[in-house]
Amino acid sequence: MLGRVAACGIVGLVFASPTFFSGETNASTDVDAPAVAIATWRHPAQDQIRNQAQDRKTDHKQIKVSALEPAEQPIKSITAVEPASQSLAVTEPFGLNTIPVASGEVLSKWSSVEADTRSESEILSRCRANAERCSTAARKFLAIVAQGRAQTGRARIGIINRAINLSIRPMSDLAQCGVIDRWSAPLVTLTTGRGDCEDYAIAKYVALKEVGVAVEDLRIILVRDRAVGGEHGIVAIRFDGRWIILDNRWLALIEDSQMRRVVPMFVLDQTGVRKFIPTNTADASPASAAHESGATAPGSGSL
């Protein structure tokens, strides 16, 4: 990625007694007839009717009061919370649709890296069984994984992002290997301690899988950074229903919605390679048209 040196370079690391409304007024309470000095005779049935009416009024008051007791919690409407739940159900980073890439340089490079990481997985398994025969790069990678496993939630993601960022020095493939663009598996990168943005992203992707993140929640994203006019590689992880971005240029964890100056190009994961469908044709420049077609990988030189 010759045009991406500035884009992938590390530009900075950021670190009274209760009153219940019953619906009745004083006018509705019982008021005895005016007292008279002359005793009158009443039929027993009248007293029975009067007592029954008084009981009904008393029960009516009690029902209204008990319905408003603090212990009685209101039932929340399911439909009222559905919009908030649906807003978290994002399938792909940046909320864009994607289509599969069946051929091209991006798919070829990603397939090669996946094969290399499977081979390195066997090396790591042997290292866990016998640490004495473990290479320095493998021990360093396993130490990063152990740091991540010691944390939970968002802190685990932050540890992996920070540890990988601080373990690799930014250097272009052209300066390091004499080739325009090369994607390296984690142990290869940690052996030299140098790499560009794709190498950072690949190492984080594998480390996050090692600490237990589901592969369905992990992506490597290739974007075009309009702020600096170059391509860049980052990692996206789905956490609490949102996509968090891990970038080699800073330690802070941000959401995809905060990266407003990038144009998503490709998404890489365990299913292969897909390209994003841009919502605005103005986002696609002639220089990136070939990349977005899936024919070629982004140019090298990126950090």
CA 266 – CA 233 distance, rounded (Å): 10
Average pLDDT (168-197) is 96
CA torsion sign, 142 to 268 to 179 to 223?
negative
CATH architecture, range 2-9+97-292: Roll (3.10)
State CA 232 to chain mean position distance. 20
Work out the pLDDT band at 19, boundaries 50, 70, 90. very low
pTM: 0.70
CA angle 95, 96, 99 (to 5 degrees): 145
Rounded-to-integer distance, Cα 123 and Cα 139, Å: 11
Q: In the structure, what pLDDT confidence band is assigned to residue 80 with cuts at 50, 70 and 90?
A: very low
Note the pLDDT of residue 51. Answer: 57
Give the start-to-end residue ranges of the domains of the chain. 2-9+97-292
pLDDT in tens, 84-93: 333 334 589 9
Is the pLDDT at 36 greater than 50? The verdict is: no
What pLDDT is stored for residue 228 in this prediction? 85
Cα separation of 224 and 230, whole Å?
A: 6
Per residue in 259-269, pLDDT (tens digit) is 999 999 999 99
Using a 10 angstrom Cβ sphere, with 0-12 exposed, 13-18 middle and 19 or more buried, the burial of residue 251 is middle
Q: Are 148 and 169 in contact (CB under 8 A)?
A: no
Tokens 């619906």 found at: 23
Helix H or strand E segment including 219: strand 218-225
Q: Are strands 194-195 and 169-170 parallel, antiparallel or unpaired?
A: parallel
Is 103 or 53 the better-scoring residue by pLDDT?
A: 103
Whether the predicted pLDDT of 272 surpasses 60: yes
